[in-house]
Amino acid sequence: MAELTIGYARVSTDEQDLTAQRDALLAIGIHPDRIYVDHGLTGSDRNRPGLREALAACRAGDTFAVTKLDRLARSVLDAHQIANELAERGVKLNIGGSIHDPTDPMGKLLFNVLAMIAEFEGDLIRARTREGMKIAKAKGRLRGKQPKLSPRQEAHLVQLHAGGEHTMSEIAELFSVGRSTVYRALERARKKAGTADS
């Protein structure tokens, strides 16, 4: 079986665009069908459907590619776990066009430095966000995020999903929202149903 390169792209919010990451992955020769994505999910959240699918698609000898390490993980621990999992399965890691071998001492050092920088950048962003929210709250401008769907739309979305005739992607497209918004709406409905049953 021929060796493949599997691509992974992620953005933290539904408003962000994946085009630049997709283009960069296509530029290194990855087939569009082998690019897995997560929309509206942070790098600190390991429970990402696109990442799970991308890792599951990798076989020994394949290469797993991301444009930047922070697209894959936002903590040194998480980056190590993913890199170790790939190394154990004989999968190479391509970060921004450079192949990193976590089993090689120099590759390991470079990977550690990249992982620490990604974690540091994530911490800075979170600190700036908290600071910005504090200032906005003090000035009375923080109102909270407006929900993407009205309660009526959310109820309709849950009904469509329960009917089983539409995929997550189709439902997301129908309501002009990201798949993460659909997941959150379904999760809220499940919790509500669980509370009603108890």
Residues 11 and 86 in one domain: yes
- pLDDT of 27: 92
Residues 101 and 34 in one domain: yes
More confident residue, 108 or 154: 154
* Per-residue confidence band for 6, with pLDDT thresholds at 50, 70 and 90: very high
- pLDDT of 173: 84
* Per-residue confidence band for 8, with pLDDT thresholds at 50, 70 and 90: very high
Cα dist from 74 to 96, 129, 142, whole Å: 16, 16, 27
- pLDDT of 54: 94
- pLDDT of 44: 60
Give the predicted TM-score (pTM) of the model. 0.57
Residue linked to tokens 């999760």? 187
The residues, any chain, with a CB within 8 Å of residue 74's CB and separated by 6 or more, are 42, 43, 44, 118, 119, 122
Q: Which residues are catalytic?
A: 12
Residue range 100-145, pLDDT digits in tens: 776 677 766 777 777 777 777 777 777 887 887 777 777 776 555 6
Number of structural domains found in the chain? 2
- pLDDT of 2: 66
Neighbouring C-beta atoms of residue 12, cutoff 10 Å = 20
Residue range 68-112, pLDDT digits in tens: 888 888 777 888 788 888 888 888 889 888 887 766 777 667 777
Residues 69 and 163 in one domain: no
CATH (domain of 42): 3.40.50.1390
Does residue 72 form part of some domain? yes
- pLDDT of 130: 80
Residue range 16-62, pLDDT digits in tens: 788 999 999 999 999 999 999 998 776 566 678 999 999 999 999 89
Q: 76: domain range? A: 5-116
